[in-house]
C-alpha cells in the first residue's frame, strides 16, 4: 500500500504522562471557555465532565517526577484535583460563580499552567468555541 504525505520518524507510543498532560490541557481550555461565557451544549458539558473525571483519576495514580516541578508534587496534585472539582461545578451550572470564585479558578489555572506547561501559552480558539 502506498503512503502519501510526510513521514514522522520520531513517532512513538503515547505513555500515561503524555495522556495526562493532553487531558489537563483540554480541561484548562474547557474551563477557560466556560469562564468566558462560550456556549456549552449537552455534548460539550458531557465531554468536560468526562475530562475532569479522567484528569482527577490520572493525577491520583501518576508519578509526577517527569514534570520536574518547582513545587512539591503533592501540592501540584492537589491543585489539579481541585481544578477537576471546580470544572465539574462550573460545567454543571449548579454552582454560582461570583467574582472571587472566578478569580480563584483563574489563579489555580495560572499556577497549574505555569508548572505543567512552562513554555506554552494556552489560548482559546474563538472560532472553534463559538460553535455549539
Segment 36-95, tens digit of pLDDT? 888 778 888 899 899 999 999 999 888 888 888 777 888 989 999 999 988 888 887 666
Task: Write down the pLDDT at residue 123.
Answer: 60
Contact 60, 76 (CB under 8 A): no
Mean residue pLDDT of the chain comes to 81
Cβ atoms within 10 Å, residue 97 = 15
Amino acid at each position: 500500500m502506498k503512503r502519501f504525505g510526510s513521514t514522522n520518524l520520531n513517532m512513538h507510543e503515547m505513555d500515561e504522562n503524555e495522556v495526562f498532560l493532553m487531558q489537563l490541557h483540554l480541561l484548562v481550555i474547557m474551563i477557560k471557555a466556560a469562564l468566558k461565557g462560550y456556549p456549552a451544549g449537552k455534548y460539550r458539558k458531557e465531554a468536560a465532565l468526562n475530562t475532569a473525571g479522567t484528569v482527577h483519576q490520572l493525577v491520583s495514580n501518576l508519578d509526577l517526577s517527569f514534570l520536574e516541578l518547582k513545587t512539591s508534587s503533592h501540592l501540584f496534585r492537589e491543585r489539579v484535583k481541585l481544578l477537576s472539582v471546580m470544572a465539574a461545578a462550573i460545567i454543571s451550572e449548579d454552582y454560582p460563580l461570583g467574582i472571587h470564585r472566578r478569580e480563584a479558578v483563574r489563579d489555580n489555572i495560572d499556577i497549574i499552567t505555569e508548572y505543567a506547561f512552562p513554555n506554552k501559552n494556552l489560548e482559546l480558539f474563538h472560532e472553534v468555541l463559538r460553535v455549539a
